[in-house]
Amino acid sequence: MLWHKEVKIPEKTDLVILPGGFSYGDYLRCGAIAAKSPIMSAVNDFYLKGGFILGICNGFQVLTETNILPGALITNRNQKFICKEEEIIVQNSNTVFTSLYENNQNLSYPIAHHDGQYFIDKNGLSELIDEERIAFKYKNNPNGSIDNIAGILSQNKRVLGLMPHPERAVDKDIGSTSGIKLFKSLLKSIR
Amino acid sequence: MTEESKVFTFKVEIMLRSEVLDPQGETINQSLKNNDLNNVLNVRQGKLFELQINCSNLEEAKKQVESICKDMLANPVIEEYKIFEA
């Protein structure tokens, strides 16, 4: 576990995960202040060296605010905090994050966010589509995201940012288990 | 001879780009309409910041505010900013 005030990522780190939460109370814009915290320079260097990064929820917002991922997350269309299980459809199973899923497979991941509406301009969206960088889409688009986007990849496909929570879909006693394969895919591919 | 430093005050207005949906503005607009203010055509909500900068001259101070806007206060993907000398 690395604290936001730290400045180095340990050598031989396989994967950096930016978890969810409400860093700095989402003041200014969600993820904006965290994007300026000391550890993020190290995360950016890790990205530039080709490191694997997973950003979930607020972690995804922080990755867009640091320009590691394109676009931005803005307030949900209905202005409400949404907390429920949502159907997610796999768009690209040819990545280290999704290799144990199949294309068009339906998953159930919980979402828990107020600012989850993904926005990107037209050119940016075409780029994401052409380069197969949309990893997941919502079936019922709960937050108004452009093109139903729930998660996107960096150009080198080594960074995934998504608003839904795969880590909260790993135990049948508390709901869905369809997040397990995301972490198993990572273990299989990275190690 | 060194220039004496002064305090300059700026206001920065930040608005969502016109192509970005503004749910808060829409909600306010709807509420105005519900109160029979039907001639209100549109409402957009933004942010206003006041910055005090200690600097030797106005030009330098302006440049600094410009860079603060680009680097932090506004996200160019979704927002536009305007700087006013207060």
CA dist A29 and A116 (Å) reads 12
Min Cα–Cα distance to chain B from A10, Å: 28
| pLDDT value, residue A190 | 86
With 0-12 / 13-18 / 19 or more C-beta atoms within 10 angstroms meaning exposed / middle / buried, residue A87 is middle
Catalytic-role residue among A30, A86, A113, A167: A167
Catalytic annotation present for A83:
no
List, run by run, the mean pLDDT of 10-residue segments along chain B (86 residues): 82 96 92 94 97 96 97 96 95
Of A151, A147, A25, nearest to A95 by C-alpha is A151
Which residues, in sequence order, are bridge partners of residue A108? A87
CA dist B36 and A106 (Å) reads 46
pTM above 0.90, yes or no: yes
List, run by run, the mean pLDDT of 10-residue segments along chain A (191 residues): 93 95 92 95 97 98 97 94 97 97 97 97 97 98 97 98 97 93 95 75
The C-alpha angle with vertex A141 and arms to B14 and A100, in degrees rounded to 5, equals: 115
Which among A28, A76, A119 has the least Cβ separation from residue B78? A119
Catalytic annotation present for A165:
yes
| pLDDT value, residue B3 | 65
| pLDDT value, residue B1 | 46
Which value does ipTM take for this structure? 0.83
The verdict on B36 touching A (C-beta cutoff 8 Å) is no
Contact criterion met (CB < 8 Å) for B21 and A72:
no
The verdict on B20 touching A (C-beta cutoff 8 Å) is yes
State how far the alpha carbon of B44 is from the alpha carbons of A36, A52, A106, A145, B74, in Å. Answer: 28, 39, 37, 19, 16
Work out whether the CA dihedral A138, A139, A142, A143 comes out positive or negative: positive
